[in-house]
Amino acid sequence: MLVDVVPVGDLSAKVKRQASTALRSVYDCDVTIHDSQPVPTGAHDEKRDQYRAEEFIELAGRVGSGEKNIAITPKDLFYRRRNYVFGLAYLDGNGSVISTYRLQTSSDGGFSNRSAVEIFSDRVRKEVVHEIGHTLGLEHCDNKRCVMNFSPTVREVDVKEENLCGSCQREVL
Ligand SMILES: [Zn+2]
Ligand SMILES: [Zn+2]
């Protein structure tokens, strides 16, 4: 499988590298980094001052050259009635997205004494693995350690691991 990472907006080289390493290690796939894309016109909701996640998924699916494609953006995303989302993907789709915007909050819920930079990198890794999991047909998993656990706040993101649990693994690997 080839996964194409599509940076949308101004994204650091480190984030691209973290995303690519995590995907390779969990899915044993090839990963390419696409040329940076401008934020899709029309994605911005002026009233909320946030961006519609669906538009980034559409963009990733359209320009990405992988069987699966993931947009990564520093913009703050929302989806329907949810105040914000860290990421979004459709089950079995070929496009997906994550936002780094809300992953930067320094608090890690007191789990570790890791630096803010490391915590942020871990979150990016987990979120890309999570969204690509959805594109492979995985739904949310009840195992709190599994990367497919639903994590509406960074606290849940920090609790889970970067890997798929045994039963999720058996479904896709
Ligand atoms: Zn999810
Ligand atoms: Zn699982």
pTM of the model: 0.95
CA terminus-to-terminus distance, the chain: 11
Distance from residue 8's CA to the centre of ligand 2 (Å): 29
Candidate list 55, 58, 131, 139, residue with the active-site label: 131
Residue 34 known to bind ligand:
no
- 109 has pLDDT over 60: no
Mapped onto helix, strand or coil, the DSSP state of residue 156 is helix
Catalytic annotation on 131? yes
CA distance 144 to 150: 8
- 110 has pLDDT over 60: no
Distance from residue 149's CA to the centre of ligand 1 (Å): 7
- 80 has pLDDT over 60: yes
Distance from residue 63's CA to the centre of ligand 1 (Å): 23
CA distance 68 to 117: 27
Question: How far is Cα of residue 3 from the mean position of the Cα atoms in its chain?
Answer: 13
Q: Please state the length of the chain.
A: 173
What pLDDT is stored for residue 105 in this prediction?
77
Distance from residue 57's CA to the centre of ligand 1 (Å): 14
Of 74, 103, 105, 68, the C-alpha closest to 86 is 103
- Burial code (b: 16+ CB inside 10 Å, e: under 16) for 46-57 equals eeeebbbbbbbb
Note residues around ion ligand 2 (Cβ under 5 angstroms): 141, 143, 146, 148, 165, 168
- 159 has pLDDT over 80: yes
Q: Which two tokens stand for residue 128?
A: 């890309």
- 74 has pLDDT over 60: yes
